[in-house]
Amino acid sequence: MKEQPPPLFFPVLRKEVRLRKEEFGVLVYEVGERPEFRVVSPSKAVILSLMDGSTNIEELKEAVAYIFDSTKEEAEEAVNSVLNEFSDLIELRKERQTPRRRYNPQEFVYKPKKHEGGLIRYSAPLRMALVLTRRCPL
């Protein structure tokens, strides 16, 4: 079990991180050369969307308890779980930040469809490649 960060630190998603709602879950990925992505539950996406640097960890736990109508202990467990699982995508700041990119948590409150197997079709591409060559196919 990882050591928990101090409650007065301000978690913020790194500037390359994106959240995107899909019908089967929420994609969490970094913009870059080779994006690696994770499909997470909408409840984790709600917690991640609140990590914009404007609330400290203690305030975040209170907000999660209110949003999910849960006890303080359940909210603490959920927030700590997300902080541990996504520690590579989250920065902990000592001072309150002006949000760089703000997600609306309500956007991620939905019931995802179950994946039936086979290919997964995303609503939009994650990246595009442009290949320049000296060979013309015409």
Question: pLDDT digit string (tens) for 22-61?
Answer: 888 898 988 877 778 888 999 999 999 999 999 999 999 9
Question: pLDDT digit string (tens) for 92-107?
Answer: 999 998 887 778 888 8
- Return d(Cα 15, Cα 50) in angstroms, integer: 14
This prediction has a pTM of 0.80
Domains, the chain: 10-108 (3.90.930)
